[in-house]
């Protein structure tokens, strides 16, 4: 249903393209209870982005402008840059952009807390000022045209619109294969996530309200989104290369994000310990038979049989006990997160 979009070039190329898109998007229906012209907030996490902001932010502002002109966004729509404790002059650039155009707003975190926390800070700040918020990276790898389509889908009644990559051509071989492996592992560990979706998505005010009820400190937004539920859909787009600068995700940061993703949503690794313990216990029977046979055949050195039997038996008992303790820790882990038990989508009273 949604076509693929090409990467954008200069702001001028881009405007021409967006206008064309708007001609066929703006006449789409508006659901009951949704505004014709919602206030849209772009939330942009920025960590040491001094090389891209001057180039990318005017493009985002221009996109808002086009959306306003096309009648799909209100005139008080805005861009919110979240400086995630940058050590370069990112904040000075945000301040200069704000002076030039107050539609670009900024908040600055006192320390680098990572993209997930920066996004959360931005979303919670934008929540009171906007009808919907679109999270987009500062390097504009994601498509602004797809963002316009997200707003149109919001007007049609969707609460979460996921940007999903049509292809991974712009990624290095390493990034492509490691990302695939990461999605597979997440699924194996019982995590519900959207394939090939990064942090480019639209959330309605209602979805933001539900998100605000997740008080956990180990934040993994992509894991929370499916749990929020509500009406959701996807928009596909081609991801372009970074405008300038380098990725802010080192290999270690990626590994730590993957570990956080799994351990924040799943107690399955702990259950695996229990299962391995059980498997070993069954294997014990075979080992015991073999050891006893060797013993009675006189092939075994004295002391070997009793050692073998106890090592195997105790090993499986230890794993099973750890697994049982793990089950309880899993329960504690779920309790301490104090996540909402439910959120109501509709009610008739």
Asked if 132 touches ligand UDP (CB under 6 A), the answer is: no
CB 150 within 8 A of CB 233: no
| 112 touches ligand UDP by CB under 6 A | yes
Piece of 130-138, 181-189, 294-302, 324-332 that binds Mg ion (CB under 5 A): 130-138
CA distance linking residue 103 with residue 81, whole number of Å? 11
**What pairs with residue 203 in β-bridges?**
133, 160
- Give the nearest distance from C-beta 242 to ligand UDP in angstroms: 6
Residues 6+ apart with CB under 8 A from 337: 214, 215, 216
248 interacts with ligand UDP by CB under 6 A: yes
- 6 interacts with, out of Mg ion, ligand UDP, none, CB within 5 to 8 A per kind: none
What does 138 bind: Mg ion, ligand UDP, none (CB cut-off 5 to 8 Å by kind)? ligand UDP
Strands 160-165 and 78-83: unpaired
Choosing from 14, 41, 43, 47, the residue that interacts with ligand UDP (CB under 6 A) is 47
By CB under 5 A, what part of segment 204-223 binds Mg ion?
A: none
Strand partners, 236: 164
| Candidate residues 53, 77, 93, 114; the one interacting with ligand UDP per rule CB under 6 A | 114
Among 84, 139, 145, 196, binds Mg ion (CB under 5 A): 139
**Closest separation in Å from C-beta 211 to Mg ion:** 22
Whether residue 234 contacts residue 158, with contact meaning beta carbons closer than 8 Å, is answered with: no
Q: Residue 238 interacts with Mg ion (CB under 5 A)? A: no
* CB closer to ligand UDP out of 230 and 257: 257
- The rounded distance, in Å, linking the Cα atoms of 170 and 189 is 28
Among positions 39, 90, 141, 240, the unique one binding Mg ion when judged by CB under 5 A: 141
145 binding Mg ion? (CB under 5 A): no
For 283-297, letters b (16+ CB in 10 Å) and e give ebeebeeebeeebee
**DSSP-derived secondary structure for 272-341:** HHHHHHHHHHHHHHHHHHHHHHHHHTT-SPTTHHHHHHHHHHHHHHHHHHHHHHHHHHHHHHHHHTT--S
**Residue 44 phi, psi (nearest 5):** -125, 110
Q: Would you say 232 or 242 has its CB closer to Mg ion?
A: 242
User: Which of the stretches 12-20, 109-117, 164-172, 300-308 binds ligand UDP when contact is defined by CB under 6 A?
Assistant: 109-117
Q: Which residues of the shown chain bind Mg ion in the complex (CB under 5 A)?
A: 137, 139, 141
Q: Which residues of the shown chain bind ligand UDP in the complex (CB under 6 A)?
A: 45-47, 49, 84, 112, 114-115, 118, 137-139, 141, 247-249
């Amino acid at each position: 249903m949604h076509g693929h979009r090409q990467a954008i070039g200069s702001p001028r190329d881009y405007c021409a393209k967006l206008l064309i898109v708007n001609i066929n998007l703006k006449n789409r229906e508006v659901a009951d209870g949704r505004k014709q012209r919602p206030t849209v907030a772009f939330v942009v996490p920025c960590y040491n982005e001094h090389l891209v902001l001057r180039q990318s932010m005017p493009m985002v502002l221009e996109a808002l402008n086009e959306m306003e002109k096309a009648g799909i966004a209100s005139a008080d729509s805005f861009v919110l840059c979240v400086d995630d404790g940058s050590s370069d002059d990112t904040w000075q650039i945000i301040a200069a952009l704000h002076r030039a155009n107050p539609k670009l707003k900024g908040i600055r975190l006192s320390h680098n807390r990572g993209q997930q926390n920066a996004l959360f800070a931005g979303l919670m700040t934008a929540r009171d000022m906007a009808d919907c918020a679109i999270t987009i990276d500062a390097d504009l790898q994601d498509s602004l045209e797809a963002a316009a389509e997200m707003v149109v889908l919001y007007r049609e009644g969707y609460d979460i619109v996921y940007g999903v990559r049509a292809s991974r051509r712009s990624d290095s071989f390493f990034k492509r294969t490691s990302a695939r492996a990461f999605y597979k592992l997440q699924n194996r560990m019982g995590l519900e996530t959207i394939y090939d979706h990064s942090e480019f998505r639209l959330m309605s005010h209602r979805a933001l309200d539900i998100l605000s009820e997740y008080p956990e400190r180990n934040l993994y937004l992509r894991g929370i989104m499916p749990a929020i539920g509500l009406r959701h859909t996807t928009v596909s787009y081609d991801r372009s290369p970074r405008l300038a600068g380098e990725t802010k995700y080192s290999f270690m940061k990626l590994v730590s994000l993957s570990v956080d993703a799994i351990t924040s949503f799943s107690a399955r690794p702990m259950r695996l310990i229990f299962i391995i313990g059980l498997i070993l216990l069954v294997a014990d029977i075979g080992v015991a038979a073999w050891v006893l046979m060797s013993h009675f055949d006189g092939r075994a050195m004295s002391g070997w049989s009793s050692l073998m039997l106890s090592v195997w038996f105790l090993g499986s008992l230890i794993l099973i006990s750890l697994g049982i303790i793990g089950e309880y820790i899993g329960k504690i882990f779920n309790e301490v997160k104090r996540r909402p038990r439910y959120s109501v989508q509709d009610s008739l009273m």
